[in-house]
Chains A and B, each alone.
Chain A
Amino acid sequence: GAGVSQTPSNKVTEKGKYVELRCDPISGHTALYWYRQSLGQGPEFLIYFQGTGAADDSGLPNDRFFAVRPEGSVSTLKIQRTERGDSAVYLCASSQAGGGSPLHFGNGTRLTVT
């Protein structure tokens, strides 16, 4: 079956603009995660959904970042008033049950804020 799909694969935006990044998880996976990866570093946890609700959003850096998963499948990460420091690869992952299951990652969205 299809893996985790993320769109767009690349996004260039100007400082101050609003962006939305989309994630389609593997069908049937109830757990969905967003991570951010800067060059040369490991993925950094942002937020975790179990079903429709955000079970842990402790990794969101500030209130400019928000994520939703209204129907328990597709998720959107929203960034308001983008800053150059937001430039990174944003990775989405899903898993079957959350705790104790490996993550299945998409190929990420490379966000560049100019």
Chain B
Amino acid sequence: GESVGLHLPTLSVQEGDNSIINCAYSNSASDYFIWYKQESGKGPQFIIDIRSNMDKRQGQRVTVLLNKTVKHLSLQIAATQPGDSAVYFCAEMNTGGFKTIFGAGTRLFVKA
């Protein structure tokens, strides 16, 4: 069968616009969520995290929103820059264990 992983969802935005990347997580027992950025040839890089007792957390130009009711996570990037072009992964963890599970990723293209 076709491997859907070969065709990453893609988001294309204009430089200076805001970006919103969405993610549906799978395990209702997950209580810690992380966004990672991965550039070509590099390992994933931590961006921001949020625990299940929160629904919003802000960093520098980034905001993560968590909706536990529908198991949805989003990453908002303000004033997107060319350097933000990368693949973004959401990840979930049940802190009772130690395994971090990654989603399929979204490729962000920033047009100058």
Contact = CB atoms under 8 A, between A and B. Distances in A.
Q: How large is the interface on B (under 10, 10 to 19, 20 to 34, 35 or more residues)?
A: 20 to 34
Given A41-B5, A42-B89, A45-B101, A106 B43 contact: yes
Given A45-B101, A48-B99, A100 B46 contact: no
Nearest to A93: B43
A42 B102 contact: yes
A43 B44 contact: yes
Contacts of A93: 43
Interface of A: 4, 31, 33, 35, 38-45, 48, 50, 55-56, 58-59, 91, 93, 98-100, 102-108
A30 to B, nearest CB: 11
B104 A99 contact: no
Given A48-B98, A50-B98, A99-B93, A40 B8 contact: yes
Contact of B7 (A40, A91, A99, A107): A40
A108 B97 contact: no
Most buried by B among A38, A55, A56, A103: A103
A42 B5 CA distance: 8
B41 A100 contact: no
Nearest to A35: B102
5 contacts: A40-B6, A40-B8, A45-B100, A48-B99, A104-B46
Given A99-B93, A100-B32, A100-B93, A42 B46 contact: no
Given A40-B7, A42-B89, A42-B105, A100 B100 contact: no
A96 to B, nearest CB: 12
B64 interface: no
B42 interface: yes
Given A40-B7, A105-B43, A105-B44, A99 B105 contact: no
Nearest to A45: B99
